[in-house]
Amino acid sequence: MKVLGRVTSINVRKVLWLADELGLDYEPEVWGKPDRDPNVPEFLALNPNGLVPVLIDGDFVLWESHAIMHYLVEREGRGPVPNDLKERAIMNQWLDWQVSDLAPSATYTVMALVRKVPGFDDDHRIAQSLSGWTRHMRILDAHLADGREHLLGDTFTLADISVGLQVFRWTMVDGEVPDMPNALTYLDRLMLRPAAAKYMTTATP
């Protein structure tokens, strides 16, 4: 199996973290700007979006981080997905929320104040992004206010990987951000997982 991407990407990290949780063997192949621009025919033939991660499993090719996570769990027949229908639905709710609400609100701030990518210096857009990201972080912080260990309570699920990585990025913002005590406690507990700590380091913010 090959995972195409760069370790600085949150979406690639989701897949790598899960692969480590499952103890899978895979071959990483570096793709993604600035190291290796995916907008070349060779890569676009695999993912026409020109985005990472991409999974190659034999002659099977898959893109979209959450689709890849679900595939790996089903392929192995084990992993952090609840058996219970309603718990699984709640896990999917948080996964969808991460990809459709939480992450998009954070994107500009991450480029400007975490990864410091040249060109991301529009103060108005930073303020707009930070305000949206803060609103979503408050929703998360309130959900975690009862001291639960994971999004679903006692059970670690795929949703903790995706949302946890986004909380880590919140701590990497170079600037003042509102306090999110429950989310930070949640992150500290997640960090105790060896696979988590590997993908949430200051070396690769």
Q: With binding defined as CB under 6 A, does residue 173 bind ligand GSH?
A: no
Q: Quick check: helix, strand or coil at residue 63?
A: strand
Q: Bridge-partner residues for 5, per DSSP?
A: 30
Q: With binding defined as CB under 6 A, does residue 52 bind ligand GSH?
A: yes
> Distance from first CA to last CA of the chain, Å, rounded?
26
CA distance 97 to 187: 18
* Chosen residue from 16, 18, 21, 32 binding ligand GSH by CB under 6 A: 32
- CB closer to ligand GSH, 5 vs 80: 5
* Chosen residue from 3, 9, 105, 165 binding ligand GSH by CB under 6 A: 9
* Chosen residue from 20, 29, 64, 149 binding ligand GSH by CB under 6 A: 64
Q: With binding defined as CB under 6 A, does residue 10 bind ligand GSH?
A: yes
CA distance 49 to 38: 9
Q: Could you tell me the smallest distance in angstroms from the CB atom of residue 37 to ligand GSH? A: 6
Q: With binding defined as CB under 6 A, does residue 11 bind ligand GSH?
A: yes
Q: Could you tell me the smallest distance in angstroms from the CB atom of residue 9 to ligand GSH? A: 4
- Name the DSSP letter for residue 135: H
Long-range contacts of 108-116 (CB under 8 A, 24+ apart): 109/133, 109/173, 110/169, 113/173, 113/174, 113/175, 114/169, 114/172, 114/173, 114/174, 114/205, 115/8, 115/205, 116/174
Q: With binding defined as CB under 6 A, does residue 72 bind ligand GSH?
A: no
* Chosen residue from 3, 43, 55, 65 binding ligand GSH by CB under 6 A: 65
- Name the DSSP letter for residue 62: E
Q: One symbol per residue from 84 to 113: x for binding ligand GSH (CB under 6 A), - otherwise; what is it?
A: ---------------x--------------
Q: With binding defined as CB under 6 A, does residue 165 bind ligand GSH?
A: no
Q: What radius of gyration, in Å, describes the C-alpha atoms of the chain?
A: 17
* Residues near ligand GSH, by CB under 6 A: 6, 9-11, 32-33, 38, 51-53, 64-65, 99
